[in-house]
Chains A and B, each alone.
Chain A
């Protein structure tokens, strides 16, 4: 008999059951795909490192051959692999088909195929043993904006030597960053390498040596690095940071999956509670004839079990292509050993089924409360009703349809609150992704790069190299550019901030910190979280991380050696920074550090005189490219977007969430409106009987979802900034030592795209479903219970 009841129920509530099935499919699809994604990425990194036979530590030694020897002679180290590069600092030194490349900023580094310290892989995940003479492999940054195909010829000009190399493909190497801002790495045959090496002579901009080694005493190496600013130690665990964006993406997708699952549970709860309250008579009759609570509950549980098993199976199958899409970027960068974990996918799908069945059992507890008397009394006894009318038609200024819709919402806040929360969550996710994407390319976070607010930044190595090698040239560079700007009728001011990696000491505590100083007529970065900017030669400001490293606080004195002379500085302020992983200090312009070679710079900042519009700035920037003969002139947002490198990923996730939210909104609205229609059939028929038109009824039903969607929109707006700022600071802390970041708003997304997409989907879904009310006749008023 139960089978027959179940069969009938599945047929009778086709729309509701189909929507629940779709939810279960989506749920298990995203759960399986995102679990697989997280396992593949996080587990995949270790797997990739194992396959690569990557050593325990990577040590970067800058221009200090004696340090290399010292490390190699340590008894605790073994399997040392020493790697040297040929450095080609300008992308213009490369040309394809006669056209010079202009696609990367940091110097390109050539590796010889016999000096691969560990295993490199081709796109098919095969280990590259060697490279054919005349051919090269490269990492992703070299291919940025560059549609290179197998066999394409690239000419590399180093001083007067031109070497022609053929493109063999993109290679994967553990620990080498694939972000667009990173240095491109090129792998060539030893003979080609030697030719390039000979041609480049001794002019390396960053003469670095990489050491890959295993060690039984990591601390000794770390201590050496603290003592010597030319040594940078990266343990294998820290190399995982190269894949931070893949991991962040995987975790964001996991959050999306969790929200989807929560949504599915909320929908399921609504459906079960709604069904039980609507079937009070059937349940009462079953109880009256002696059927036990557990048997009645099992009816519902069996039904949802059947739906969830079918849904989970379909969802699991659908998770495979979804997982492929999710892992596309990761698999370009990693050799994933477990791209499709069938077992984990199946376990996720089974977990979804178990959760749903348990949840159903929990939701059906209401069955216990219904008594056989409910069936007899026809629900008219008052027990099923409570005070409902909160608004008064006579006193309301709203049009009748608007009043009825608003009154419906306020009279049944619980059932409408479900959809309000779901829509608010969906909209909040869209807004957050949009806000993060905009913030991470916004001039509002420019201060985190320790540069002043400006209109343009020149990031061409040709200009930067001179003043980095010799800071005395910084002012000359600034003067030259300001003069050129004035001559071309677009006067402006320039500023340069450079960083020098130095050892710093506070009492017994030592740390390697990047010391920043600024030049030019633009003011130095001025934003401080605590205290004030250093104004005198013996004052310094530090980031929180640097203070932690040195065990220091504002007011303490720290010391540093510059040009063989020790200087003492009083800490005057604390600031946030993305630079050098957040380990940064800033000295005043009064302190002369020009004798030091700079290690980093975010280029030359330019601010045009006058109050220019965005278009005028853009036009000036284009002209600046011609004046300075470089394409490496960036607008502010372009520069920040490039530097943070997550904007595109977040925009892609935002689009996915928009699509998902619209689909979920449509499904929930259709499910709820269909449920409401069946519940309100009598009232609809009555309204028709007393002469209220179809148009008004459809309008009322549509309007109440529009009201709910609008309330959800307001809710999501209210939560956007507090949640956004908290999450933004969390994301930024992954990159550096950051606090007090305020999100920027994308007005089009927040005030147009989001409300149009979600409120629009709610209105369309409600309207289309409300058309079903046309099938209810006025005469049904007399025959409905």
Chain B
């Protein structure tokens, strides 16, 4: 499988009160097309920072990030924005949405901004509605964001991340603020997207989420200290239990 994303010698350092804080230390990683990679680790280990650096949301202090073979660390802000808009999708723990827009308008906003296609706004809206139907929130398109539940909002965020058919989807604790049933629904949608060919990189604390991913990276103090290949998840209950058990054991070994 071809690599979608590669990081080489990635470092990120913050200077706080004249003290140097090395958040990421010389990280090398490769994410292949169609993979669903979970990034785990204790709080403060640098998981989210890694996600932001490889997605171009933040700039690494050193090292290079290759996306589709192109070093995005050398891109200008404008080019990075274009890349994030057209080729990447983002889901956050909080269901960030524009307060002044309806749920549907929030979803189609990246498509309206994108120059990837020259489709009419009506067509974009139709695509947005289709995505919402697919994720089971078709009826809330015209609602304000305060009129829908957290689970619906997170699914709307997934729709937004998918509207420009990105090559890779970055998710930072996508189920972190959801209850169990909403969390399962959201995760199942991510798995479906992955099954349809979208590469997913997901930061999570939840072993249940990670167990459904094809690979798990474990970070401690800014470095990748372990990697667990779990393979493609078929969706069967039995398989999930085995994967969870294997992952938990491995996590224990990592010091989880």
Contact = CB atoms under 8 A, between A and B. Distances in A.
A689 B90 contact: yes
A782 interface: yes
A693 B96 contact: no
A53 B98 CA distance: 74
B50 to A, nearest CB: 11
Contact of B57 (A393, A394, A689, A694): A689
A616 interface: no
A389 B86 contact: no
B112 interface: yes
B81 A688 contact: yes
Contacts of B214: none
Contacts of A691: 81-86, 88, 110, 113-114
A683 B96 contact: yes
A393 B121 contact: yes
Contacts of A752: none
Contact of B172 (A393, A682, A696, A782): A782
Contacts of B102: 389, 392
B146 interface: yes
Given A690-B160, A696-B113, A782 B81 contact: no
B18 interface: no
A777 B81 CA distance: 11
A690 B110 CA distance: 7
A707 to B, nearest CB: 14
Interface in B127-183: 128, 144-147, 160-161, 172
Contacts of B83: 691
Contact of B112 (A393, A687, A694, A782): A393
Interface stretch (A23-31, A380-388, A445-453, A656-664): A380-388
Given A394-B121, A407-B101, A778-B57, A388 B144 contact: yes
B92 A694 contact: no
A695 B81 CA distance: 10
Contacts of B99: 385, 388, 411, 683
B177 to A, nearest CB: 9
Contacts of B88: 691
A781 B82 contact: no
A396 interface: yes
Interface residues of B, number: 46
Interface in A323-380: none
A412 B98 CA distance: 13
Given A394-B128, A690-B85, A781 B96 contact: yes
| Interface size bracket, A side | 35 or more
Contacts of A683: 96, 98-99
A696 B78 CA distance: 10
B125 A394 contact: yes
Name B's interface SS: helix
Interface in A98-152: none
B81 A693 contact: yes
Contacts of A74: none
B62 interface: no
B87 to A, nearest CB: 9
Contacts of A411: 99-100
B227 to A, nearest CB: 24
Interface string B105-118: 10011101110000
Nearest to A785: B94
Contacts of A393: 101, 105, 108-109, 112, 121
A526 interface: no
Contacts of A694: 77-78, 81
A692 B100 contact: no
A400 interface: yes
A779 interface: yes
Contacts of B82: 691, 693
Contact of B92 (A387, A412, A695, A782): A782
Contact of A387 (B78, B110, B144): B144
A385 B144 contact: yes
Contacts of A779: 48-49, 52, 57-58
A533 interface: no
A367 B57 CA distance: 37
Nearest to B161: A690
A396 B78 CA distance: 26
Given A394-B128, A691-B83, A691-B85, A782 B52 contact: yes
Which of B48, B83, B121 has the most C-beta atoms of chain A within 10 angstroms of its own C-beta?
Answer: B121
Contacts of A389: 100-102, 105, 144
Contacts of B48: 779, 782
Contacts of B144: 385, 387-389
Interface in B37-80: 48-49, 52, 56-58, 77-78
26 contacts: A385-B146, A387-B144, A388-B99, A392-B105, A394-B104, A394-B108, A394-B125, A395-B121, A397-B121, A407-B100, A408-B100, A683-B99, A686-B92, A687-B98, A688-B81, A689-B90, A690-B90, A690-B161, A691-B83, A691-B84, A691-B110, A693-B82, A694-B77, A694-B78, A696-B113, A781-B90
Interface of A: 382, 385-389, 392-397, 400, 403, 407-408, 411-412, 682-683, 686-696, 777-779, 781-782
Interface of B: 48-49, 52, 56-58, 77-78, 81-86, 88, 90, 92-94, 96-102, 104-105, 108-110, 112-114, 121-122, 124-125, 128, 144-147, 160-161, 172
Given A408-B100, A691-B84, A779-B57, 5 more contacts: A385-B144, A683-B98, A694-B81, A695-B78, A782-B92
- Top 9 nearest A-B pairs (CB, nearest first) are A691-B85, A394-B125, A691-B84, A385-B146, A778-B57, A411-B100, A393-B105, A779-B52, A779-B58
